[in-house]
Amino acid sequence: MAKRASFAAELLAGQMPEDIETAFRSAGTSLFPERPEDLTTACSCPDMANPCKHVAATHYVLGEAFDKDPFLLFELRGRTREQVIEAIRAARGARARAKRAGAGKGAPCAGDAPAIATVTPGKMAAKDYDAWREAPPALDVALEPPAAHAALLSQLGAPPGWTEERSPADLFGPLLRAASERAREIAMAEGAPRGRRRG
C-alpha cells in the first residue's frame, strides 16, 4: 500500500481507497474473506444451516459497520487504523530516505516491520449479549400535538370511486384526531409520576 502514492495519500487522509484489494492481491493475499473457510461461525440455535438467520444477521450488521468505517477490516486483521496509518507513514518515510541516500534497493527488509497485533474476542454469556455496557443516558421526550390534524388525508384527497359527499379528511379527521390525542395522553401518562398519572 505504501508503494502506491494514491493509496498512501487516501489512507493517510483517513479514507479507504476503492481498489485497495489490488494491493493485497499483488502481495498474494486478500483483505476480504474469499472462501467459506475464511469465516468461522457458530450459533446455538437449532437451525442446522450455516449461516443460520442469526449468523446472516450478524454478517449484515458487520457489512453496515464496514460501510460506515471501512478501517474495521484492518482491525479484524489485527491492525488498528492508527497502526495502519503509522506503518504507511513509516514505510513512505523509509523509502524517501533510501532514495535520497541513493540506496535504490527497495523497501526496508521485512524484519524491521513491527509485530502484527492480534484480536481475540472474549467469551460472552448469552444473557449479556444485549446488555448495556453502562447505564443508558436519561431521555426527556416531549410529545407535542400535530400542527394540523389529518393533514395526510387532506393531501391525498378522495380515492377513485369515492361516493361520500364528505371528503375522507372530513369523515375520518375527527376519529384520527381523537385517536392521536388519546395516544398522546397514554404516552405522557406512562412517564409521569404515579400520583399524577391520568386514567
57 with 114, same domain? Answer: yes
Q: How far apart are CA 8 and CA 89, in angstroms?
A: 8
Residue 46, pLDDT score: 87
18 with 115, same domain? Answer: yes
Residue 131 resides in a domain: no
Assess whether pLDDT exceeds 80 at residue 102. Answer: no
What does residue 105 show for φ and ψ, rounded to 5 degrees? Answer: -110, 20
Indicate the DSSP class of residue 174.
H
Assess whether pLDDT exceeds 50 at residue 198. Answer: no
Q: Which domain, by its residues, includes 10?
A: 5-123
118 with 50, same domain? Answer: yes
Assess whether pLDDT exceeds 80 at residue 1. Answer: no
**Could you give the number of structural domains in the chain?**
2
Burial, 95: exposed, middle or buried (Cβ in 10 Å; 0-12, 13-18, 19+)? Answer: middle
Tell me how far the alpha carbon of residue 125 is from its chain's centroid.
23
Higher pLDDT, 69 or 99: 69
Instruction: Specify the residue for cell string 472462501.
Output: 35
Confidence band, pLDDT 50/70/90 cuts, at residue 111:
very low
Question: pLDDT tens digit string along 7-64?
Answer: 777 777 777 777 778 878 887 877 777 777 777 888 888 888 878 889 888 888 888 8
24 with 86, same domain? Answer: yes
110 with 155, same domain? Answer: no
Indicate the DSSP class of residue 51.
S
